[in-house]
Protein backbone atom coordinates (compact mmCIF):
# COMPACT_ATOMS: atom_id res chain seq x y z
CA UNK A 1 0.00 0.00 0.00
CA UNK A 2 2.84 2.38 0.93
CA UNK A 3 4.57 1.75 -2.38
CA UNK A 4 1.34 2.50 -4.27
CA UNK A 5 1.00 5.84 -2.46
CA UNK A 6 4.58 6.72 -3.28
CA UNK A 7 4.01 5.82 -6.94
CA UNK A 8 0.89 8.00 -7.08
CA UNK A 9 2.77 10.92 -5.54
CA UNK A 10 5.57 10.59 -8.08
CA UNK A 11 3.04 10.44 -10.92
CA UNK A 12 1.38 13.65 -9.72
CA UNK A 13 4.73 15.40 -9.48
CA UNK A 14 5.77 14.30 -12.95
CA UNK A 15 2.45 14.93 -14.73
CA UNK A 16 3.25 18.54 -15.77
CA UNK A 17 6.56 17.40 -17.23
CA UNK A 18 4.95 14.48 -19.06
CA UNK A 19 2.36 16.75 -20.67
CA UNK A 20 5.07 19.24 -21.63
CA UNK A 21 7.00 16.44 -23.31
CA UNK A 22 4.36 16.37 -26.04
CA UNK A 23 5.13 20.01 -26.91
CA UNK A 24 8.26 20.51 -29.00
CA UNK A 25 10.46 23.62 -28.86
CA UNK A 26 9.02 24.35 -25.40
CA UNK A 27 9.11 27.83 -23.94
CA UNK A 28 7.61 28.31 -20.46
CA UNK A 29 6.66 31.73 -19.10
CA UNK A 30 4.89 32.81 -15.90
CA UNK A 31 2.24 35.49 -16.52
CA UNK A 32 -0.44 37.26 -14.49
CA UNK A 33 -4.00 36.34 -15.51
CA UNK A 34 -6.96 37.69 -13.55
CA UNK A 35 -9.47 35.26 -12.07
CA UNK A 36 -10.97 34.22 -8.76
CA UNK A 37 -11.88 30.52 -8.47
CA UNK A 38 -11.50 26.99 -9.80
CA UNK A 39 -14.10 27.67 -12.51
CA UNK A 40 -11.81 30.45 -13.74
CA UNK A 41 -8.96 27.95 -13.71
CA UNK A 42 -10.88 25.66 -16.04
CA UNK A 43 -11.74 28.51 -18.40
CA UNK A 44 -8.22 29.94 -18.51
CA UNK A 45 -6.55 26.58 -19.04
CA UNK A 46 -9.08 25.56 -21.70
CA UNK A 47 -8.52 28.82 -23.60
CA UNK A 48 -4.74 28.39 -23.50
CA UNK A 49 -4.80 24.72 -24.49
CA UNK A 50 -4.01 23.54 -28.00
CA UNK A 51 -2.96 19.92 -28.35
CA UNK A 52 0.81 19.52 -28.72
CA UNK A 53 1.16 23.29 -29.08
CA UNK A 54 0.28 25.10 -25.85
CA UNK A 55 -1.03 24.68 -22.31
CA UNK A 56 -1.27 26.60 -19.03
CA UNK A 57 -1.41 25.81 -15.33
CA UNK A 58 -3.10 28.65 -13.42
CA UNK A 59 -2.97 29.19 -9.64
CA UNK A 60 -6.08 30.88 -8.20
CA UNK A 61 -4.17 32.13 -5.12
CA UNK A 62 -1.35 33.91 -6.94
CA UNK A 63 -3.26 34.44 -10.22
CA UNK A 64 -0.08 33.39 -11.98
CA UNK A 65 -0.21 30.99 -14.92
CA UNK A 66 2.72 28.89 -16.07
CA UNK A 67 2.27 28.93 -19.86
CA UNK A 68 4.17 26.40 -21.97
CA UNK A 69 4.09 26.54 -25.76
CA UNK A 70 5.85 25.51 -28.97
CA UNK A 71 7.66 28.72 -29.90
CA UNK A 72 7.80 27.70 -33.58
CA UNK A 73 4.03 27.20 -33.88
CA UNK A 74 2.52 29.93 -31.72
CA UNK A 75 3.43 32.82 -29.43
CA UNK A 76 2.68 33.96 -25.89
CA UNK A 77 0.86 36.95 -27.35
CA UNK A 78 -1.49 34.70 -29.35
CA UNK A 79 -2.21 32.54 -26.29
CA UNK A 80 -2.96 35.54 -24.05
CA UNK A 81 -5.27 36.91 -26.72
CA UNK A 82 -7.27 33.66 -26.60
CA UNK A 83 -7.41 33.87 -22.81
CA UNK A 84 -8.71 37.44 -23.02
CA UNK A 85 -11.37 36.41 -25.54
CA UNK A 86 -12.51 33.85 -22.97
CA UNK A 87 -13.10 36.71 -20.51
CA UNK A 88 -9.88 36.94 -18.51
CA UNK A 89 -7.73 40.09 -18.30
CA UNK A 90 -3.99 39.45 -18.44
CA UNK A 91 -0.64 41.18 -18.82
CA UNK A 92 -1.10 41.77 -22.54
CA UNK A 93 -4.85 42.09 -23.13
CA UNK A 94 -8.07 43.16 -21.47
CA UNK A 95 -11.05 40.89 -22.13
CA UNK A 96 -13.89 42.40 -24.21
CA UNK A 97 -16.70 43.62 -21.95
CA UNK A 98 -19.21 41.13 -23.39
CA UNK A 99 -16.80 38.21 -22.80
CA UNK A 100 -16.29 39.31 -19.17
CA UNK A 101 -20.06 39.68 -18.73
CA UNK A 102 -20.58 36.03 -19.75
CA UNK A 103 -18.39 34.71 -16.92
CA UNK A 104 -20.06 32.95 -13.99
CA UNK A 105 -20.76 35.22 -11.02
CA UNK A 106 -17.98 33.68 -8.95
CA UNK A 107 -15.51 34.55 -11.72
CA UNK A 108 -16.21 38.30 -11.68
CA UNK A 109 -12.76 39.41 -10.57
CA UNK A 110 -12.00 43.09 -9.96
CA UNK A 111 -10.81 44.74 -13.17
CA UNK A 112 -8.03 47.26 -12.54
CA UNK A 113 -5.54 46.99 -15.41
CA UNK A 114 -6.32 49.74 -17.89
CA UNK A 115 -3.01 49.74 -19.75
CA UNK A 116 -3.54 46.55 -21.76
CA UNK A 117 -5.27 46.51 -25.11
CA UNK A 118 -8.83 45.33 -25.44
CA UNK A 119 -9.05 42.28 -27.68
CA UNK A 120 -11.22 42.86 -30.73
CA UNK A 121 -12.08 40.81 -33.79
CA UNK A 122 -9.27 41.21 -36.35
CA UNK A 123 -9.93 43.54 -39.25
CA UNK A 124 -10.18 41.81 -42.62
CA UNK A 125 -7.56 42.14 -45.29
CA UNK A 126 -4.82 43.95 -43.37
CA UNK A 127 -2.39 41.12 -42.68
CA UNK A 128 -0.11 39.37 -45.12
CA UNK A 129 1.87 36.14 -45.21
CA UNK A 130 1.82 33.80 -42.22
CA UNK A 131 2.01 34.96 -38.61
CA UNK A 132 3.19 33.14 -35.47
CA UNK A 133 -0.23 31.56 -34.94
CA UNK A 134 -0.15 29.94 -38.39
CA UNK A 135 -2.73 32.23 -40.02
CA UNK A 136 -2.22 32.44 -43.76
CA UNK A 137 -3.13 35.52 -45.75
CA UNK A 138 -6.19 33.78 -47.15
CA UNK A 139 -7.39 32.77 -43.67
CA UNK A 140 -6.87 36.25 -42.25
CA UNK A 141 -8.63 37.98 -45.11
CA UNK A 142 -11.55 35.57 -45.09
CA UNK A 143 -14.75 36.74 -43.40
CA UNK A 144 -15.39 33.17 -42.27
CA UNK A 145 -12.47 31.51 -40.43
CA UNK A 146 -14.47 28.26 -40.16
CA UNK A 147 -15.02 27.85 -43.90
CA UNK A 148 -12.32 25.12 -44.16
CA UNK A 149 -14.27 23.14 -41.53
CA UNK A 150 -17.52 23.56 -43.39
CA UNK A 151 -15.96 22.57 -46.71
CA UNK A 152 -14.54 19.38 -45.21
CA UNK A 153 -17.84 18.67 -43.44
CA UNK A 154 -19.79 19.10 -46.70
CA UNK A 155 -17.42 16.65 -48.39
CA UNK A 156 -18.23 14.05 -45.72
CA UNK A 157 -21.93 14.74 -46.16
CA UNK A 158 -21.74 14.36 -49.95
CA UNK A 159 -19.78 11.11 -49.59
CA UNK A 160 -22.45 9.70 -47.27
CA UNK A 161 -25.18 10.77 -49.71
CA UNK A 162 -23.34 8.53 -52.21
CA UNK A 163 -22.82 5.83 -49.54
CA UNK A 164 -19.09 6.01 -50.28
CA UNK A 165 -17.24 5.00 -47.12
CA UNK A 166 -13.79 5.51 -48.65
CA UNK A 167 -14.53 9.09 -49.68
CA UNK A 168 -16.16 9.83 -46.32
CA UNK A 169 -13.06 8.59 -44.48
CA UNK A 170 -10.74 10.69 -46.66
CA UNK A 171 -12.88 13.81 -46.18
CA UNK A 172 -13.02 13.22 -42.42
CA UNK A 173 -9.22 13.12 -42.35
CA UNK A 174 -9.24 16.58 -43.96
CA UNK A 175 -11.73 17.73 -41.32
CA UNK A 176 -9.44 16.51 -38.52
CA UNK A 177 -6.64 18.65 -39.98
CA UNK A 178 -8.98 21.63 -40.39
CA UNK A 179 -10.08 21.37 -36.75
CA UNK A 180 -6.47 21.40 -35.56
CA UNK A 181 -5.71 24.42 -37.76
CA UNK A 182 -8.48 26.65 -36.35
CA UNK A 183 -7.12 29.83 -34.79
CA UNK A 184 -9.43 30.92 -31.98
CA UNK A 185 -8.19 34.49 -32.18
CA UNK A 186 -10.00 34.82 -35.52
CA UNK A 187 -13.36 33.79 -34.03
CA UNK A 188 -15.97 36.15 -32.68
CA UNK A 189 -16.53 36.11 -28.93
CA UNK A 190 -19.69 33.95 -28.96
CA UNK A 191 -18.30 31.52 -31.52
CA UNK A 192 -15.07 31.30 -29.54
CA UNK A 193 -16.94 30.21 -26.42
CA UNK A 194 -18.90 27.56 -28.38
CA UNK A 195 -15.68 26.36 -30.02
CA UNK A 196 -14.09 25.64 -26.64
CA UNK A 197 -17.10 23.50 -25.72
CA UNK A 198 -17.39 21.47 -28.95
CA UNK A 199 -13.88 21.22 -30.42
CA UNK A 200 -12.98 17.96 -28.64
CA UNK A 201 -16.27 16.31 -29.69
CA UNK A 202 -15.82 17.50 -33.28
CA UNK A 203 -12.34 16.01 -33.35
CA UNK A 204 -13.60 12.78 -31.76
CA UNK A 205 -16.35 12.22 -34.34
CA UNK A 206 -14.26 13.29 -37.33
CA UNK A 207 -11.44 11.01 -36.22
CA UNK A 208 -13.79 8.03 -35.90
CA UNK A 209 -15.28 8.65 -39.34
CA UNK A 210 -11.77 8.80 -40.82
CA UNK A 211 -10.75 5.48 -39.24
CA UNK A 212 -13.49 3.32 -40.77
CA UNK A 213 -14.96 2.57 -44.19
CA UNK A 214 -18.19 1.27 -42.63
CA UNK A 215 -20.85 3.73 -43.82
CA UNK A 216 -23.25 2.78 -41.03
CA UNK A 217 -20.67 3.55 -38.36
CA UNK A 218 -19.72 6.75 -40.17
CA UNK A 219 -23.37 7.86 -40.22
CA UNK A 220 -23.65 7.29 -36.46
CA UNK A 221 -20.79 9.69 -35.83
CA UNK A 222 -21.97 12.07 -38.54
CA UNK A 223 -25.16 12.64 -36.54
CA UNK A 224 -23.35 13.96 -33.45
CA UNK A 225 -20.76 15.72 -35.62
CA UNK A 226 -23.62 17.59 -37.29
CA UNK A 227 -25.15 18.71 -33.99
CA UNK A 228 -21.90 20.27 -32.83
CA UNK A 229 -21.21 21.83 -36.23
CA UNK A 230 -24.67 23.40 -36.06
CA UNK A 231 -23.94 24.95 -32.65
CA UNK A 232 -20.66 26.34 -33.93
CA UNK A 233 -21.97 27.77 -37.21
CA UNK A 234 -25.11 29.12 -35.54
CA UNK A 235 -22.94 31.15 -33.13
CA UNK A 236 -21.30 33.04 -36.00
CA UNK A 237 -22.21 34.41 -39.39
CA UNK A 238 -21.19 32.09 -42.25
CA UNK A 239 -20.04 33.68 -45.50
CA UNK A 240 -22.65 31.65 -47.40
CA UNK A 241 -26.09 30.37 -46.45
CA UNK A 242 -26.11 27.09 -44.47
CA UNK A 243 -29.23 24.93 -44.57
CA UNK A 244 -30.05 22.93 -41.45
CA UNK A 245 -31.96 19.84 -42.56
CA UNK A 246 -33.74 17.01 -40.79
CA UNK A 247 -34.47 13.35 -41.55
CA UNK A 248 -37.27 11.98 -39.32
CA UNK A 249 -36.47 8.35 -40.21
CA UNK A 250 -32.80 8.31 -39.19
CA UNK A 251 -31.55 6.64 -36.00
CA UNK A 252 -34.46 4.19 -35.95
CA UNK A 253 -37.11 6.90 -36.05
CA UNK A 254 -35.51 9.25 -33.52
CA UNK A 255 -34.45 11.55 -36.35
CA UNK A 256 -31.15 13.23 -37.17
CA UNK A 257 -29.99 16.51 -38.65
CA UNK A 258 -27.28 17.70 -41.00
CA UNK A 259 -25.93 20.89 -42.57
CA UNK A 260 -26.01 21.49 -46.30
CA UNK A 261 -24.67 24.12 -48.68
CA UNK A 262 -27.76 23.70 -50.92
CA UNK A 263 -31.48 23.86 -50.19
CA UNK A 264 -32.31 20.66 -52.10
CA UNK A 265 -32.65 17.61 -49.84
CA UNK A 266 -30.03 14.91 -50.37
CA UNK A 267 -30.19 12.58 -47.40
CA UNK A 268 -26.77 11.50 -46.02
CA UNK A 269 -28.32 8.94 -43.65
CA UNK A 270 -29.96 6.79 -46.36
CA UNK A 271 -28.43 7.90 -49.65
CA UNK A 272 -30.16 6.51 -52.72
CA UNK A 273 -32.58 4.47 -50.57
CA UNK A 274 -34.42 7.62 -49.45
CA UNK A 275 -32.52 10.39 -51.18
CA UNK A 276 -35.16 13.10 -50.81
CA UNK A 277 -36.42 12.16 -47.35
CA UNK A 278 -36.26 15.16 -45.06
CA UNK A 279 -36.83 18.90 -44.93
CA UNK A 280 -35.02 22.16 -44.25
CA UNK A 281 -35.80 23.40 -40.74
CA UNK A 282 -33.58 26.51 -40.67
CA UNK A 283 -31.38 28.65 -42.90
CA UNK A 284 -28.32 30.17 -41.18
CA UNK A 285 -26.85 33.30 -42.74
Distance (Å, whole) CA 258 – CA 261: 10
Total residue count of the chain as it appears in this document: 285
Residue 274 confidence (pLDDT): 93
- Taking only Cα atoms into account, the Rg of the chain, rounded to an integer number of angstroms, comes to 21
pTM summary value: 0.54
The 8-class DSSP code of residue 121 comes to P
Residue 19 confidence (pLDDT): 47
Q: pLDDT tens string for the chain (285 positions)?
A: 445 444 444 444 444 444 445 888 888 989 899 998 888 999 999 999 998 899 999 998 889 999 999 888 888 888 998 999 999 999 888 888 888 888 888 888 888 655 555 665 443 333 333 443 344 334 333 467 898 999 999 999 999 999 999 999 999 999 999 999 888 878 888 888 999 999 999 999 999 999 999 999 999 999 999 999 999 999 988 888 999 999 999 998 999 999 999 999 999 999 999 999 999 999 998
Distance (Å, whole) CA 176 – CA 171: 9
Residue 8 confidence (pLDDT): 47
Residue 222 confidence (pLDDT): 97
pLDDT digits (tens, 9 = 90+) for 247-281: 999 998 999 999 999 999 999 999 999 999 999 99
The 8-class DSSP code of residue 215 comes to H
pLDDT digits (tens, 9 = 90+) for 97-131: 888 888 888 888 888 655 555 665 443 333 333 44
Residue 120 confidence (pLDDT): 53
3-state secondary structure of 191: helix
Q: Could you tell me where the DSSP H helices lie in 86-164? A: 97-101, 137-141, 147-161
Amino acid sequence: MKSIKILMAITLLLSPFLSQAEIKNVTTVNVKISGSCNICEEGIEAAAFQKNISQANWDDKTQIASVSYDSKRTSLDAILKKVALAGFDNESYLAPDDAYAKLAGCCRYKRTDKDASVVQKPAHGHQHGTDMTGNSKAETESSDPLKPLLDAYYSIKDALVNSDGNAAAASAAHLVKAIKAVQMTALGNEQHMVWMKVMKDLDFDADHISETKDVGHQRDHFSSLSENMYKLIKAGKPSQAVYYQHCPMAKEGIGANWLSQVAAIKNPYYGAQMLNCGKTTEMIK
